[in-house]
Amino acid sequence: MRSDAVMEPGGDLTLRSLRTLLATAIALFGFHTPAHSASFEPAVFLENNCARCHNDEEWRGGWSLGGVDLHQPLTYQEIWEKVVRKLRHRQMPPIGAKKPRPNESAYTAMIDYLESSIDRAVADAPNPGRTESLRRLNRTEYENAIRDLLALDIDATALLPHDESGHGFDNVNVGDLSPALLDRYVSAAQKIARLAVGITHNKIDSHVVRVKADVTQEAHIPGLPIGTRGGVLIPFTFSRDGQYDIRVWLMRDRNEAVEGLHEPHELEIILDRQAVATFTINPPEDVRDYSQVDKHLNVRMSVTAGPHDLGVTFPKRQSSLLETARQPLQAHFNMHRHPRLTPAVFQVSITGPYAAEGITDTPSRRQIFVSYPSRVGEEDASAREILAVLMRRAYRRPVADSDVEGLMGFFREGRSGGSFDAGIERALSALLVSSEFLFRVEMDPAEAPPGSIYRVSDIELASRLSFFLWSSIPDDKLLDAAVSGELSQPANLAKQVRRMLNDARSYNLVSNFAGQWLHLRKLEGWRPDARLFPDVDDNLRQAFRTETELLIEYVLKQDKSVLELLDADYTFLNERLAKHYGISGVYGSHFRRVTLESDRTRGGILRHGSILAVTSYATRTSPVIRGKWVLDNVFGAPPEPPPPDVPTLDENIVSASLPIKERLAQHQSRPECASCHKTIDPIGFALENFDAVGRWRDFEEGAPVYVSGSLPDGSRFDGVGGLEAALLRRPELFAQTLTEKLLTFALGRGVAYYDAPAVRKILRDAEGDGYRFSSLILGIVESAPFQMRRAR
């Protein structure tokens, strides 16, 4: 082999050395120039378009092609994968480089050349990466696991602290369990076990549910009976049969006056859609004292143990339409800008049980007590059977008699001071703080040499699959397939994936995965300036999120192409959201699929209020945040983080009355900012037809909105429609971005360069199926990173 085939570190990548390298590669690995590009010369392409990039003053990334040895494709795979990524997104060479950019056929030929070369080189030695050996259930997974293990719905946000995110998802940085966090898990386990078994130990509990201050209660609340308005619907699990006090407080303004109480109103307390009590609320005789207005809103009622829907609401009165030149505000909660028109519920307390009468056959008890002793001598056998079933589901594996015996000690301890049920409760509390329940455990086989690659067991594969698709524990069907050794068989695995996607629990991919991928969780903290945007309330905030979740659920459940997330000619609306968007003919609080006109301003996710809101400031839009969001989550080319020594843009020296394009002109004037903002800002400008709360506009401050944009490949367009069309001209980029996000969520680790061959295979297989959602998911489940692991 020629000695000049290897470049010295830091050396220049000359045309001669490139040709020598590529000739060596052809000899060693059988690389070839694609047949459709017979005249294509990879060495010339790299010399002209890549070799100089690391020396370009506008080029960043901290890496170069110097010292790269194609004799060792696995050793230098990271560098070549970076080159492929830059070429695929047409970021190499940068826009504005002195030499002309390659044409599309040259780009395609070079990408095919490099990708096929790398994929062939790693085919016999795949690197699936390594997931952590111990991964704690995060808050969402814990809540779902309790639901599926005990048939009990809990609010984990009230029991456990927030999980920190890594690589965009909160199931990544979950390897620790501090003493303080362990105390929270112990406390949660005790509460959950007591509620599931139904033992209160003669304790009176009180739960308070508070309605958000910015909820408008002038219209119907979903889930409450038709013909009512306002109030709150509370799904609640009552611990035992007995008497419970329900107490209601009304919303007050800063002067302690009940808002909207100008005449008598009726209030109803409803249990499972049946009225329990009706009250009349009268304005006080002394308008300075509202302290007694809601003192009588209290009822004690008999309730059976288990889950119920408790509602507090007002019968809706007839009203005439307001005739105004402009659409009246929909938000009513601020006493000065948009006061309430009628009274509203502030909080509801549930206290009990009083005179506890026993325990009804609740869903939780049916799930737990698969056996029940008829006499004392049968208690140990029944307890063993109960605990064996619970442990198998909770530990996600078969359990031995020795495993069960460990919990039997807790059962006997609880039984000695109480009943059989008390013993099961004590054992259940211990199970819920067991490391095998709280942690997902993947240990290297004892015989696996360090650094070797091995397939995970069927038991581990079952947990990977269920936590990916459901964010929860495997069900009995999945676990049975794993125990029998049939799960890893390709046909059986595909069958299980399809079954799980058709299960209601796959909504996790919508609420949990998409909520983090698209930043929908940030809506909870979204508070635009009330002076500039007075018609924003929590009703609109929740409608934004529901619209996006329903679109993703529809594409998933109907197994549509994921590209429909970008170019859908329909959306999901209720009356509140339709009015905000200026769409007529939609009435009521329920959401429905609405087909849009050809000149639509709504449709795919780039037109959703949820996305437009979380990518804006409180007072204005932000082309920077929106452009970065698109690059990160749609285009798949996140910009480099800004250098630490670059000061933030001082907007105080720029007139706020100028159009946003001129206000951001400083980005282009600073060399340290220009390289990234020349890519970020033009994408954000394309979304400027939408204001900071997602409404369509053609003018800003009396001037036409600037909506001209471009992608890193130099293609130019106008507006959101042009941006969508530009993205869909190369659909593989969005499909790749979504696949990498799904893979990160599935593995609980960031996607690395060595995952690129697996991602390419997923995309090649899915392309022929039109990038259907199920094709991407099945491709991930069948991939090496999902089914294999590298030993430490």
- What's the order of all strands across the beta sheet hosting 345-358? 205-210, 345-358, 241-250, 298-303
Residue 149 has pLDDT above 80, yes or no: yes
DSSP per residue, 189-258: HHHHHHHHHT--TT--EEEEEE--TT---SSPPTTSPTTEEEEEEEEEEESSEEEEEEEEEE-B-TTSPB
Residue type (1 letter), 378: E
- Rounded distance, CA 694 to CA 580, Å? 9
Contact residues for 675 (Cβ-Cβ < 8 A; gap 6+)? 58, 59, 60, 94
What is the pLDDT at residue 203? 83
How would you write 708-748 as a 3-class SS string? Answer: EEECCCCCEEEHHHHHHHHHHCCHHHHHHHHHHHHHHHHHC
Q: pLDDT band for 165, please (50, 70, 90 cuts).
A: very high
pLDDT digits (tens, 9 = 90+) for 658-693: 667 766 676 666 766 776 788 899 999 999 999 999
Residue 470 has pLDDT above 60, yes or no: yes
The DSSP symbol for 300 reads: E
Whether the bond into 641 is cis, omega within 30 of 0: no
Lookup result for tokens 């958000």: 212
Helix, strand and coil in the chain, % to nearest 5: 45, 15, 40
Residues 209-226, mean pLDDT to the nearest whole number: 95
Share of the chain above pLDDT 90, in %: 73
Q: Higher-confidence residue: 712 or 44?
A: 712
- At 725, list the tokens: 């069309």
- Are the CB atoms for 456 and 462 separated by under 8 Å? no
Mean pLDDT of the chain: 89
pLDDT digits (tens, 9 = 90+) for 534-564: 999 999 999 999 999 999 999 999 999 999 9
Q: pLDDT band for 265, please (50, 70, 90 cuts).
A: very high
What is the pLDDT at residue 60? 43
What is the pLDDT at residue 102? 85
The DSSP symbol for 576 reads: H
Beta bridge partners of 772: 561
Q: pLDDT band for 63, please (50, 70, 90 cuts).
A: low
CA distances from 295 to 51, 202, 286, 347 (A): 78, 27, 16, 13
Contact residues for 575 (Cβ-Cβ < 8 A; gap 6+)? 219, 586, 587, 588, 589
pLDDT digits (tens, 9 = 90+) for 627-648: 999 999 999 999 888 777 666 6
Q: Higher-confidence residue: 67 or 377?
A: 377
Minimum mean pLDDT range among 83-87, 242-246, 639-643, 644-648 = 644-648
Residue type (1 letter), 713: D
Phi, psi dihedrals of residue 133, rounded to the nearest 5°: -70, -35
pLDDT digits (tens, 9 = 90+) for 351-384: 999 988 877 789 999 999 999 999 999 999 999 9
Residue 19 has pLDDT above 50, yes or no: no
Residues 492-514, mean pLDDT to the nearest whole number: 97
- At 671, list the tokens: 């060399």
Residues 204-231, mean pLDDT to the nearest whole number: 95
Q: pLDDT band for 43, please (50, 70, 90 cuts).
A: low
What is the pLDDT at residue 491? 98
- CA-based nearest residue to 752, from 164, 131, 169, 173: 131
Residue 288 has pLDDT above 80, yes or no: yes
CA-CA-CA-CA dihedral for 55, 57, 60, 66, to nearest 10: 0
What is the pLDDT at residue 76? 81
pLDDT digits (tens, 9 = 90+) for 46-59: 666 665 454 444 34
The DSSP symbol for 262 reads: S
Residue 20 has pLDDT above 50, yes or no: no
Residue 87 has pLDDT above 50, yes or no: yes
Residue 603 has pLDDT above 70, yes or no: yes
Minimum mean pLDDT range among 167-176, 600-609, 741-750, 772-781 = 167-176
Residue type (1 letter), 7: M
Contact residues for 447 (Cβ-Cβ < 8 A; gap 6+)? none
Residues 701-730, mean pLDDT to the nearest whole number: 94
Residue 580 has pLDDT above 90, yes or no: yes
Q: Higher-confidence residue: 694 or 72?
A: 694
Contact residues for 648 (Cβ-Cβ < 8 A; gap 6+)? none
Residue 26 has pLDDT above 70, yes or no: no
- Are the CB atoms for 615 and 629 separated by under 8 Å? yes
- CA-based nearest residue to 411, from 448, 377, 456, 379: 379
Residues 622-628, mean pLDDT to the nearest whole number: 95
Residue 655 has pLDDT above 90, yes or no: no
Residues 404-416, mean pLDDT to the nearest whole number: 96
CA distances from 41 to 48, 75, 98, 158, 195 (A): 11, 24, 21, 62, 71
Q: Crossing angle for the helix pair 490-502 and 476-483, nearest 10 degrees?
A: 170
What is the pLDDT at residue 3? 36
Contact residues for 240 (Cβ-Cβ < 8 A; gap 6+)? 198, 199, 200, 305, 353, 356, 357, 358, 359
Q: Crossing angle for the helix pair 379-395 and 420-432, nearest 10 degrees?
A: 20
Contact residues for 722 (Cβ-Cβ < 8 A; gap 6+)? 686, 709
What is the pLDDT at residue 50? 63
3-state secondary structure of 274: strand
- Rounded distance, CA 649 to CA 681, Å? 14
pTM: 0.91
- CA-based nearest residue to 500, from 522, 472, 519: 472
Residue 753 has pLDDT above 70, yes or no: yes
Minimum mean pLDDT range among 542-546, 608-612, 668-672, 736-740 = 668-672
Residue 238 has pLDDT above 80, yes or no: yes
